Amino acid sequence: MSPKSVLFLIVLLLSFSSCVSYKKLSIEVVKPASYFVPPEIHKLTIVSRNLKYESDTLQNYHARNHHLVRDKIPFNPDSLAQKTCIDSLARNLMKQNRFDSILTYPVNYFPVTRVKNIGPHKADWYRNITEETKADGLIILDMFSCFYSNLDNTTANVVTSNIWTFYDAKKQKITDRFVQIDTLYWDGRDENGLKKIRIPAKKEAITLAAGIIGENYSKHIQPSWTMVYRDIMVCKNPDLKLAEKLAQKSNWEDASAIWQKYADGKNKRNQIVALYNLALASEMNGDVDQAIELTDRAAKVSTGFFWSLENEIIRKYSAVLYQRKTELKKLNTQYELP
């Protein structure tokens, strides 16, 4: 076979394979808490230690067009950020009715203390607060730092770093330590990337970022709904196109009925698409084990060079399903969402 013939054959094979495409599907799933708060803990106290690193001295500055600029109207960004963060945390924890009561200390209850390193306080410090508030558990915001940057009023970001500690009063010891570093961006467009929106100034941006940080920590210590993304396989077959549209409208039952007709067919492309999407439908219906079985079948059907791209997508989704199975087992040991 001549080199031109080989090249033509490869192009032909790839053109057939490219008939399969993918569309994003956003869904909400319940994620387990990274740190499991023992069920016997019913009363929480949240307090800020107000620690600052000695090198963290830019509270009254921000970056504009890559230059350090002093704020024209001084304000206390640390107090604002900590209060917003703790209020957001308490609000999100109360939504699930998991705790009988949540008490928050004023953010300036303890004075700002500058340190080289941030570690645990003396044991008596934790015991005194829990005894004073009759709390079973203590959430400590050890440190919160943030910095605002703006570029030509077209983009902005807030970089945040924070350290959290959970103290179990019944065990009289620290049972979890959580470090979070994140950046919140604004690029002048809405979530669809179409409409221009106003870039927030420093005070507003810090408030928004701090609220998200508090919400994120609530997800660290209790199960929560989280947006995730999946891919639906699409090809030129009219039936399978219709099934994809039904699935996008959450009509998984009718979509599955169509996919089922092709799951054992002779056309390998249609069979791969059907099996993969049936696995997705099974996950949507809460049957992760069946979804894994279907991806196993799809992986076997898609072996070989001709379907290597589809096989890779299927195996990646299978790994996601195994991870989801682990999460569901973990959720079974944790408290239920309302």
Q: Which residues contact 131 (CB under 8 A, 6 or more apart)?
A: none
**Assigned domain for 13 exists:** yes
Of residues 190, 209, 98, 89, the one with CA closest to residue 145:
209
Q: Are residues 209 and 252 in the same domain?
A: no
108 is in which domain, residue-wise?
43-222
Q: Are residues 177 and 216 in the same domain?
A: yes
Using 50, 70 and 90 to split pLDDT, how confident is the model at 11?
very low
CATH number at residue 108: 3.30.160
Query: What is the torsional sign of CA 85, 93, 334, 328?
Result: negative
Q: What is the pLDDT of residue 338?
A: 45
How many Cβ atoms are within 10 Å of 106's Cβ, its own excluded?
Answer: 12
Tokens representing residue 15 in the block: 């053109």
Q: What is the pLDDT of residue 187?
A: 87
Q: What is the pLDDT of residue 96?
A: 87
Return the SS3 of 194: coil
**Assigned domain for 38 exists:** no
Q: What is the dihedral of CA 289, 294, 295, 298, to 10 degrees?
A: 170
Query: What is the torsional sign of CA 134, 106, 103, 119?
Result: negative
Q: What is the pLDDT of residue 337?
A: 47
**Assigned domain for 75 exists:** yes
Q: Are residues 197 and 108 in the same domain?
A: yes
Q: Are residues 247 and 308 in the same domain?
A: yes
Select from 222, 257, 278 the last residue of a domain.
222
pLDDT in tens, 170-212: 999 999 999 999 999 998 776 666 666 789 999 999 999 999 9
Beta strands in the chain (DSSP E): 21-31, 43-53, 61-64, 67-70, 101-104, 113-115, 137-151, 155-168, 173-186, 224-234
How far is it, in rounded angstroms, from Cα 236 to Cα 18?
A: 11
Q: Which of 146-150, 214-218, 318-322, 328-332 has the lowest mean pLDDT?
A: 328-332
Q: Are residues 212 and 106 in the same domain?
A: yes
Of residues 327, 337, 92, the one with CA closest to residue 228:
327
Q: Are residues 306 and 244 in the same domain?
A: yes
Select from 168, 194, 222 the last residue of a domain.
222
Kindly write down the DSSP assignment for every residue of 147-159, as one continuous string. Answer: EEEEETTTEEEEE
**Assigned domain for 317 exists:** yes
User: Is the model more confident about 279 or about 8?
Assistant: 279
pLDDT in tens, 263-311: 999 999 999 999 999 999 999 999 999 999 999 999 999 998 889 899 9
> How many domains are contained in the chain?
2
Q: Are residues 237 and 214 in the same domain?
A: no
β-sheet bridge partners, residue 182: 160
Per cent of the chain over pLDDT 90 is 82
Is the pLDDT assigned to residue 14 strictly greater than 60? no
Q: Which residues contact 302 (CB under 8 A, 6 or more apart)?
A: 268, 272, 310, 311, 314
Per cent of the chain over pLDDT 70 is 91
- 32-to-40, 83, 231, 329, 336 alpha-carbon distances in Å: 18, 26, 23, 9, 10
Q: What is the pLDDT of residue 3?
A: 54
| Per-chain mean pLDDT for the chain | 91
**Assigned domain for 177 exists:** yes
Select from 190, 222, 254 the last residue of a domain.
222
Q: Are residues 24 and 74 in the same domain?
A: no
**Assigned domain for 201 exists:** yes
The pTM of this model reads: 0.82
